[in-house]
Amino acid sequence: MNSFGRIFRIQIYGESHGPAVGLILDGVPAGLSLQLEDFAGDLERRKPGKQGTTTRVESDLPELVSGIYLGRTTGAPLHIQFKNQNIRSEDYSAFLDQDRPGHADFTARIKYGGQHDPRGGGHFSGRLTLALVAAGVVAKKILPELQFAAVLTEAGGLQDIPRALELAEADGDSIGGVVECRVEGIPAGLGEPFFDSLESVISHLAFSIPAIKGIEFGSGFQSVRMKGSEHNDAIMDSSGQTMTNHAGGINGGISNGNPLLFRLAVKPPSSTPQTQTTYSKQSGQMEPLKITGRHDLCLALRVPVVAEAIAAIAIADLALIRRTQNI
């Protein structure tokens, strides 16, 4: 499904090598000041072209197609479009005989009866995260009092990221990483159990980001080795501030006013420079496959801003819904 959210709703479209990717945001409060410049910072952070990322560089200039008038949101659907400019379709034609391991080639082919757009991953391309980042920019403007800070804490098993990238280059192999996202200033009371817990909504969005294979909140998988007396965050005052934050700022699926904290596991990109051996439809057996083209060696480098974006999207929706809950 191409849409998510109840009030602040994101709807996306586009393919890697089609005319454009973009998004419609519905439910954006009217009167929000929004300029093209507002997008520059976060889009820059998502951009490839840095060490360890693909050399495909797009200018990534957003166009505000609808929902904006005199520099402010109107309350009507906000359509943001990114034209695709730097397209090399020929890189992908060779893979039609061999579905690339780790990619959606096989699954998309089965699901859509071979009708999907295979060029550059088509609708499954990481390029679609542009839409998430753009939505995140708008969401952050709805939440001016919040601070979002996501960082890559580990890549290729090392906390020293430049060293990890050097090794990956030397090995000629792609590497994964862990992205940690922290949100400060989030008020208590956000989250809609039973099903729309704050964790549920964030994780739903997180797993729409290609390459994410795990998420944990607070102490997450470490908490399974703690005792209850150790894991519980003692409440210190009437505002709900806690001494520790093993819960990652969430109790019972609802924000408790302490910093929101989650971590994402980003797998190594499937487009490794290494030669792989995988099934060939033509020969009917496994054959070598060498993926060329422009690809990220460490996609995780570009994920922090996307992690912030999905946190902001989730929180903006829940913050708007929160307004409906008092008599």
Residue number, 44 or 297, with CB nearest to a second copy:
297
From the CB of 209, what's the least distance to a second copy, in Å?
9
Closest CA to 64 of 30, 37, 45, 43: 37
Q: Between 56 and 245, name the residue whose CB sits nearer to a second copy.
A: 245
Q: Give CA–CA dist 291/293, Å, rounded.
A: 7
> Least Å distance between CB 32 and a second copy?
5
Q: In sequence order, what DSSP letters do the residues of 258-275 get, joined into one string?
A: SPEEEEEEEPPPS--SS-
How many other C-beta atoms lie within 10 A of the C-beta of residue 141? 17
Task: Provide the greatest CA pair distance for the chain.
Answer: 69
Q: Closest separation between CB of residue 78 and a second copy, Å? A: 8
- Residue 47 vs 263, nearer CB to a second copy: 263
Nearer to a second copy, 55 or 244 (CB): 244
Place of tokens 């009030």: 7
For residue 110, what are its two tokens? 């089965």
Nearer to a second copy, 2 or 44 (CB): 2
* Shortest Å distance, C-beta 64 to a second copy: 9
CB of 288 to a second copy, least distance (A): 11
Q: How many CB atoms lie within 10 A of CB 57?
A: 13
CA end-to-end span of the chain: 33
Residue type, 22: G
**Residue in the structure block whose two tokens are 């290609």:** 210
